[in-house]
Every structure is written in C-alpha cells, then in structure tokens.
Chain A
Amino acid sequence: MNAMQWTFVVATISGALALWMLLPRKRFRGRRLGSLLGLVSLGLFASQVPLPGGPAERTVFIVLAGVTLAAAVCTVTFRSPVYCAVWFGLTLLGVSGLFLFQGAQFLSVATVTVYAGAIVVMFLFVLMLSDPRGRTYYDRLSWEAMLSASAGAVMIGVLSMTLHRVFVPEAAPPAADANNVAVADASGASANAEATNVPALPEPPTSESLQANILAPEHVARLGGALFSRYLVTVEAAGVLLLVALVGATSIMAHARFEQLRRSRHGNG
C-alpha cells in the first residue's frame, strides 16, 4: 500500500473510533480524545481533497465544508434532541451553501425550502415528546453506538476512496477494493488494462469556472428543461407516488375515525 492508501485507511479507522467515542453512551465517553481523533481523521481526508481555484474560493469552500461537517457530527453526538435538530438544520444550510458555491442555485434554495420545511414539522414532534432538560434516559443513549459509528465511517471511507480511485491502478487489488474494479474484472479484460482506461479525476474547479457557473443566467430554465425531457417519467412517477401517499393517509385517517364513531354509537346504545 502506498502513502495515499494508508492515509485513507487510517482516516477511516480513526473516524470510526472518534464517532464511537463521541456518541452519547452510558458510562465512558471520551469527548476530548474523540474530538482529537475526529480532527485527525478530518485532516487526513481533507489533505486529499482537490481544492478549488484561488484563495477566496478556497476559503469559502473550506469554511462551508467545515461548518457542514462539524454540524453533522454535532447532530449525532449531542444529547438534547432539540439541539440535534438545530445542528441538523445547520448542516442543511451548509450543504445548500455548497450547492450555491457550485452554481446550483435552484438546488440550493430547494434544499432549504424542502428540508427545513419538513424538518420544522419533525422538530415540532420531537419538541412535544422530549423533556426540556434532556434528562430522560432514551435521549441520553445512542443505541448500537459501535455499529452505527463504524458503518458511518466505512461509508465515508469507501465513498471517498471510490471517488479518488485509490485502489484502482494496483495490479492485484486488495480485498477492501472499490466496486468499479470488480466490474472491470467481470467484463473479461485484465484488471490492469481496464484500470488504466478509467478516466482521470475531474479537475478541481478554477476561479473562472466557478465565477462562470455562479453568474450564468437561466439556471432554473435549464433544470426545468432537463426535468421535463430526460427525467419526465421519473418526475411523473414521483408525482403519482406522492398522490397515492396522500390518498392513503387520508383514507387511513377517515377509516380510523369512522370506526371510532361506529364503536361509540354501538357501545353506548
């Protein structure tokens, strides 16, 4: 394994450990050590991220990404459910900022509208069910801390390794390999030859491309064009699905109340 592969593996493992330590548990909870390990893991991952353009773009990107990640970690590690929900909201704001940074204006505002709107409703229920001081035991525990921490870290690790094609150019891929090599093997060609044909990583955005993206007109028109031509069937199917869900919810509701009414009539009479 070369240095890059070691970086990713170490980052994944330390990320899993950090998450496990930070998750709320009964007795032992190494917050300091966990935060330290988390920072190490983040730093290792960040050292491999291709950074965009000039210093201004770089600063904006780092701040947005840092806020998003920190808020995401806080979402799962805080004990009070209300705080978790607020951190989740901040995560979404960071994600929407990153979308905006890439020039996806509609996606960015739609993220806030849809998710924040939906979360507020979820938030209301959390609020009504939770003890204001967070003293209840089920709020203070995170169940299956080990499994969830390692699953999350492995997910992040595998995703970033795949995106970076860390294990692709190797002649004999190790067991924890990315999926695309397995596909290449199945297609009959030698792994080596196929691997060299894999297209290179996309270039990180430059200042000019970012500026052109952000200042380009007709974002919504282009998005709408794509949605209603190439993805028309998907959009229609999603619409039908939502309609069915709505009708279903209404019928369950009406049925339950009808039953209740019937029972009260016959029970008393």
Chain B
Amino acid sequence: MLELAAIALVKVVILSFGLLTAAAYLVLLERRVAAWVQDRRGPNRVGIPLTSIRLFGLGQPLADGLKFIFKEEFTPSHVDRWMYTLAPISILATALAVFAVIPFGDVLTLGGERTIELVVAPGFDAGAIYVFALSSLAVYGVILGGWASNNKYSLLGGLRSSAQLIAYELPLSLGLLGVVVVTGTLRLDEVIRTQANEGIWFAFAQPLGLIVFVIASFAEAARLPFDLPEAEQELVGGYHTEYSGIRLLMYLVAEFMHMITASFLIVILFLGGWHFWGLTDAAAWGIEGEAVPLWLGVVRIVVLMAKVFVVILFFMLTRWTWPRFRFDQLMNLAWKVMLPLGIANVVMMAVVAEFEVPLTDRLGRGGVIGLTWVGTLLTLIVAALLVPLHSDNRRRSIEPDLFGTS
C-alpha cells in the first residue's frame, strides 16, 4: 500500500511539474509560431538571466512568469472576494486533475522485472468518463469567474463561454462513444493497446468520429475559431476581463492545459497513442513474449510525446488560419452539425461492432473500413446539403420558420 502511494506520488510530482513547465514553453512556442506565420521574428532576446547569451529566446517563459507573479495582485472593490479567488483555482485544479487517468507512455520495466505503468491511476476502469466528469467541472471556474467579477460584460462572457462548453461536450462525448463502442472499454491505455494490436489507428477506422472529436475539442479548449473569451475588440473580452496578475495566469495556464489534454485525448483515442508501425512493435524488434524492455518503453514515450507535439502544433497553426465564429454560428455548428454527425458516427460504429464477424468475412478488414469511409462521405454530403449557411448576415423575415417550409 505504502509502495503504491509512493509510486503514485512520484508520478504526480513529475506530471504536474512537467505539465506546468510544458505550458510555459508552449506559450513561447505559440508566440514563435505566430511570428513565423505572420513573417515576424517573435520573442528571441531573453536568454540566460544576467548574461547577454540569447539562446533563441528560451528564457522568455521565465520572464513572463516573473512578470505575472510580481504584478500587483489587484482585487477590484466590487467583486465577490471568495468566489473571485476560488474560480481560477478551481479551473486550474480540474485541468491538472484530468491527467490522473491519461497515460503518458506504456510501461517502464525497471531492474528486469518491476514494471511501472505510466499513468497516475493505473487500472482506473472508468478513465474516459473521469475525463469528462472533470471537464464538466471546468465550467464552474468559467461561470464563477464571470459572476464573481460583478461586471455585466464578465457575466455575459461567462454565460457565453459556459454555454459553449456545455454545448460542445455532447459531440465530444459522441466522438469518444464511437471508440468505446468498438473497443468495449473505458480505459484509455486499453484503447491504445487495441489500436496497437490491430495496427490500424481509429483515425482511419472512424474518420467521422475524428472530425467531430477534433472540432469539439477545439471548442472545449476555447482555441481560435471558438475563442470568444479573447474577443476584446467586439465583446469586451470574456469571463476573465476583471482578472490580472497571478489569477489571470491561472486562467491562461488552465486554457493551455485544456489544449494539452485535448491533444493527448486526440492522440490516444484516434492516432494510436504510443503505437507506430515497426517502431514500437515488440515483434518487429524480435522480442518474444509480453515483456517490454526499458528502451522500448522509452521509445513509446517518445513516440507518444512526438504525436502530442504535432497535434499541438496543429492547434497553433489553426489559430492563424480561421477567423473567429460569431456566437450564433458557434451554437448552430454545435447543435445542427456536430451533434447529428456524432450520432451518425455512433450508429455507424454500432453497426460495425455488431456485425463485425460477418462483415469481415465477406469484405475483409479493409472492406469494412472502406464502408466506413463511404458512410462518412455520404453523411458529410447530406450535412452539407441540409445545413443552412451560417455566414449569411442578411436580415431574415421576422416570422420564425417553424417547419422548414420556406
């Protein structure tokens, strides 16, 4: 028992420090990527403190962090003090706690026989639902922050963001459900193992699920097409307009954490986790049996982290590619496009899971996947034909079109 607790504690410490450092350096990466996209240089001056060594601007996160921490911790007089302090703490705590069930590798074999599973809570049987439970708790931080600021713009921003988070939780869970139906488990490490054993990532086996999940996780992480809280120009910001200093830092770090979580989930559920053909297969290296040697464990960690990094880069590039949605466009997309697409994906996956044996006998594995792609294309075409254009800003007739007749 004590040993279990000690191992868990070590993992928790490594993970939380690693994540906070990663968040700091991802901010630098984001600024450099933004600069690259916009043909600028970006922050490249700050290097090692008290020297003139620049080191490509790698000291920038340190400077940013110090600036945030030593800024005056200003509390406006009109706020509700308790909730104003509690809100950023709660959102950061839930964002960190999600990582209790997210595997950051496969296993590490130490001293020949001891294996350590690289997840804080190994064998947590409802891991996927735990992720959703905590992401639904993140809404509290948003609402409370908006309410406690006692400012109508913050309150409206909080309502807007929480409505967005609640709306996009449905397609997110539908995207996950497709994977769960096929694998029959809620454990994230088992999902990876299923993909590794078959050698087919779910990105290929259920493309519609991938589309729905990625778009929904952009919205859940409040990244650019969905980043209404950042809309200072047109909406006077969002729920954190009244925040400054370390509390604002907590909100911003929590937003980065959400992006990291989303990247991990996309990689684990759809991009095969630590699996890469030929590189992480024990059989390809001529290793017999179930045991994973230490170096292979390390290779798997590296593969997983590389994939997560690529997905994060994708998040960052998307930021400079798309304009921001208007609120009604965002809601229409959630309820009229993403939800039906997600349901179509679940139905498709249920059919595949139910008739797996006869279908595979007739068509082969590739045939089943081809069928899924055909279904995906058909669904997308139907959605494109039926869903109205949301970019239309012309004034509509006042009478509501109840039955879609006009």
Chain A positions within 8 Å of B, measured between CB atoms, are 56, 82-83, 86, 89, 105-106, 108-110, 112-113, 116-117, 120-121, 123-124, 127-128, 132, 207, 211, 215, 217-221, 254, 257-258, 261, 264-265
Contact = CB atoms under 8 A, between A and B. Distances in A.
Interface in B149-165: 150, 155, 159, 162-163
B325 interface: no
B162 A211 contact: no
Contacts of B147: 82, 127, 132
Contacts of A217: 123, 125
Given A117-B136, A211-B1, A258-B402, A109 B126 contact: yes
A83 B147 CA distance: 11
A210 to B, nearest CB: 10
Contacts of A109: 126, 129-130, 132-133
29 contacts: A82-B83, A86-B140, A89-B140, A106-B126, A106-B129, A109-B126, A109-B132, A109-B133, A112-B133, A112-B136, A113-B133, A116-B136, A116-B137, A120-B136, A120-B139, A123-B143, A124-B143, A127-B147, A127-B159, A132-B80, A132-B147, A207-B1, A211-B1, A220-B125, A220-B126, A258-B402, A261-B399, A261-B400, A265-B399
Interface string B74-118: 000000101100100000000000000000000000000000000
A105 B126 contact: yes
Nearest to B122: A215
Top 7 closest pairs, chain A to chain B, by CB: A112-B133, A219-B125, A113-B133, A109-B129, A106-B126, A109-B133, A109-B130
Interface in B358-395: none
A120 B143 contact: yes
Contacts of B162: 120, 124
Nearest to B128: A109
Interface string B201-217: 00000000000000000
A220 B190 CA distance: 13
A143 to B, nearest CB: 25
Contacts of B125: 105-106, 217-221
B140 A120 contact: yes
Interface in B165-192: 166, 169, 185-186
B352 interface: no
Given A109-B130, A120-B162, A121-B166, 12 more contacts: A83-B83, A105-B124, A109-B129, A113-B129, A113-B132, A116-B140, A117-B169, A120-B136, A120-B139, A219-B126, A220-B125, A257-B402
B399 A110 contact: no
B259 to A, nearest CB: 22
B246 interface: no
A72 B399 CA distance: 47
Contacts of A112: 133-134, 136-137
Contacts of B150: 132
A106 B140 CA distance: 22
Interface residues on B, range: 20 to 34
B169 A215 contact: no
A105 B155 CA distance: 35
Nearest to B144: A86
Contacts of B166: 117, 120-121
A21 to B, nearest CB: 23
Given A117-B136, A123-B143, A219-B126, A254 B186 contact: no
B213 to A, nearest CB: 17
Interface in B1-21: 1
Contacts of A86: 83, 86, 140, 144
Nearest to B158: A127
Of the listed residues B125, B137, B399, the one surrounded by the most CB atoms of chain A closer than 10 A to its CB is B125
B402 to A, nearest CB: 6
B369 to A, nearest CB: 27
Contacts of B80: 132
B152 to A, nearest CB: 10
Contacts of B144: 82, 86
Nearest to B79: A132
Contacts of A117: 136, 166, 169
A254 B400 CA distance: 11
A183 B140 CA distance: 47
B186 A113 contact: no
Nearest to A222: B125
A86 B86 CA distance: 10
Contacts of B163: 124
A2 to B, nearest CB: 38
Contacts of A258: 402
A181 to B, nearest CB: 40
Contacts of A108: 126
Of the listed residues A112, A128, A261, the one surrounded by the most CB atoms of chain B closer than 10 A to its CB is A112
Given A86-B140, A123-B143, A220 B186 contact: yes
Contacts of A123: 143
A265 B222 CA distance: 42
Interface in B305-336: none
Contacts of B169: 117
A221 B186 CA distance: 10
A219 B140 CA distance: 29
B28 to A, nearest CB: 34
Contact of A127 (B82, B143, B399): B143
A38 B30 CA distance: 53
Contact of B129 (A89, A110, A121, A221): A110
B1 A56 contact: yes
Contacts of A120: 136, 139-140, 143, 162, 166
Contacts of A132: 80, 147, 150
Interface string B24-45: 0000000000000000000000
Nearest to B151: A132
B60 to A, nearest CB: 37
B261 to A, nearest CB: 16
Contacts of B126: 105-106, 108-110, 219-220
B402 A261 contact: yes
Nearest to A54: B1
